[in-house]
Amino acid sequence: MRMWMVDPRGMCRRHLLGEHVECHMFLATFRLGRSLAGYVRNGLVELDRLKARHDALAAEMLRRGYRHRSPLAPGRRLPAIGQVDPAANRRELARRCAECRRRLHPEANQPLRHKGTKRTRS
């Protein structure tokens, strides 16, 4: 489980929906009183931002025409524990997933032009 904390528009379907369900899993784990220490220590969760992140993911799901029927209701303010590095996660998503790489780095999809080469007309 992890919170990627990158712009949801840059995520492929699999990672968008995966992080969405993991928001619910983090909340359930917290409510059950289970430890999130490993997730916090490894920079995989920001518990106090869970609701806002879930809502951003849900908004992107709706924008893409997906159904969303699972609001996240923490019931009370969640503690401010954990810190996620969005820049590192952006690089990791791009490394792991070709579709996320295409969405996160659209400039990389442009054909390369080398300096000093002239375009000729045929």
pLDDT digits (tens, 9 = 90+) for 48-69: 999 999 999 999 999 999 999 9
Is 121 inside a domain boundary?
A: no
Q: Please count the structural domains in the chain.
A: 1
- Cα separation, 78 vs 47, whole angstroms: 6
Is 111 inside a domain boundary?
A: no
Is 1 inside a domain boundary?
A: no
Is 96 inside a domain boundary?
A: yes
Is 120 inside a domain boundary?
A: no
How much is the mean pLDDT over the chain? Answer: 90
CA–centroid distance for 34 within its chain: 23
Q: What is the pLDDT of residue 75?
A: 87
Is 47 inside a domain boundary?
A: yes
- Cα separation, 105 vs 91, whole angstroms: 10
At residue 110 the predicted structure's pLDDT band, cuts being 50, 70 and 90, is: low
Is 46 inside a domain boundary?
A: yes
Q: Is the dihedral of CA 32, 34, 37, 42 positive or negative?
A: negative
Domain that holds residue 93: 8-68+81-104
- With beta carbons less than 8 A apart as the criterion, state whether 81 and 36 touch: yes
Greater confidence (78 vs 117) lies with 78
User: What is each CA distance from 64 to 18, 29, 49, 77, 83, in whole angstroms?
Assistant: 15, 29, 23, 30, 28
CA–centroid distance for 84 within its chain: 11
Is 73 inside a domain boundary?
A: no
pLDDT digits (tens, 9 = 90+) for 9-46: 999 999 999 999 999 999 999 999 999 999 999 999 99
pTM confidence score: 0.85
